[in-house]
Structure formats: structure tokens, C-alpha cells
Amino acid sequence: MKSRKHIIFYILSAVFLALVQEAFFNDLRIFGVKPNLTLALLCVVAVRMNFTEAMIYGLSTGLFVDIVYGRYIGFYGLLYMYLAILIVFITSMLNYGEKLWWPIAVAPLPLLLYGVLESFIARLLAVYTGEALHIYSGGFWTHFGVRILPVAFYNCICIAVLMVPIIKFLDRKSGGFQ
């Protein structure tokens, strides 16, 4: 990306997707979960960013999620920032053709890692603040199968759906997907 306009565009896109998520996906739950569209957009667009842009985009999008949904300011900001850096680190050695479809092919692993970390840290904070007595009341594997796995699956579907219009839009612009 060559200018700050791209980062602002992606941040506004994340805000728009968060509004769409709250407006429509409350009724479109699968297995009792709704997707995290801001996280799906992060996985799609971080492949074309450098480290600085990914840090700014991940932190600002995560802080937006913190302000709108979170209980602890900065929690999602840091998680999104680290996830964006991880994606850029993994894709920085790939060429254009490999980078283009990376989010669909490899997204489940970072999404599962994000889900496990987010769930563990959020529950650890809940135990620390006295909001919960146990980290996982039914056990980790029950929580993994009921919450983390369905959310990651739904997010992978959303990434596959978001990839097509975003790639068409980015390839239409001058400079393409570089």
C-alpha cells in the first residue's frame, strides 16, 4: 500500500462490516455463533500490507472492537495487531500468486490460534476480576467444540466469501494486489 488512504479505507470497511455483523448476523447464527467479520477482513487484507501498516490496521480495528464490544480496552487491539503481524510475517516470503489465495488456504490455523488465545485470556481476566469462578466451567475441550471451532469455521466461510469482491476490487485498481 502506498498511502494512508488505504489504511483509512480499510478501517472504514471494518467499521461497516461490524455494523453489518450486528445488523444481519444476529439472525444468521450457525451452531449458535455469529462470525467476526472484522477479523475476517483483517485476514484478507493483511496479506498485502507491510509490518507497519498491519500494526496500525490491526491495532485500530481491534480498538474499535474493544470500544464497541469489549469489556477491557486494548485487549482486542493487541490481539488483532499481533494476528496481523503474524499474517504479514507468514506471507512476506510468498509471491503474488501464492499470496492472493493465502487467506482461504491457511486461514483456519491462525483463526483457531486466535480463538484459543482470545478465549483463554478473556476467561483468565474474568476469573481475575471475579466475574467467573473457573476458566472453563465445562472443560477446555467442551468449550473448544462448542464455541471456538464453530466460530473459526464460520469465519473461514466469511473469508472465502469476502475474498472474491476484495480481490476483484484490488486488481481493478492501479498497482493491483501488490
DSSP conformational letter for 85? H
Report how far residue 47's alpha carbon sits from residue 127's, in angstroms, rounded to the nearest whole number: 35
User: Quick one: cell of 57?
Assistant: 490496521
Query: How confident is the model at residue 172, as a pLDDT?
Result: 67
Query: How confident is the model at residue 173, as a pLDDT?
Result: 59
Report how far residue 178's alpha carbon sits from residue 171's, in angstroms, rounded to the nearest whole number: 9
Q: 149 exposed, middle or buried (CB, 10 Å; 0-12, 13-18, 19+)?
A: middle
Query: How confident is the model at residue 1, as a pLDDT?
Result: 47
If the chain, 178 residues long, is cut into consecutive pieces of 10 residues, what is the mean pLDDT of each piece?
71 84 78 84 83 90 88 90 89 68 78 91 90 86 89 87 75 54
For the domain 4-172, what is the CATH code?
1.10.1760
Query: How confident is the model at residue 96, as a pLDDT?
Result: 58
Report how far residue 67's alpha carbon sits from residue 76's, in angstroms, rounded to the nearest whole number: 9
Q: Are 85 and 54 in contact (CB under 8 A)?
A: yes
Query: How confident is the model at residue 98, as a pLDDT?
Result: 62
User: Quick one: cell of 176?
Assistant: 493491483
Q: What are the structural domain ranges in the chain?
A: 4-172
Query: How confident is the model at residue 177, as a pLDDT?
Result: 46
The model's pTM is 0.83
Query: How confident is the model at residue 178, as a pLDDT?
Result: 47
Task: Identify the sign of the CA torsion 44, 105, 34, 69.
Answer: negative
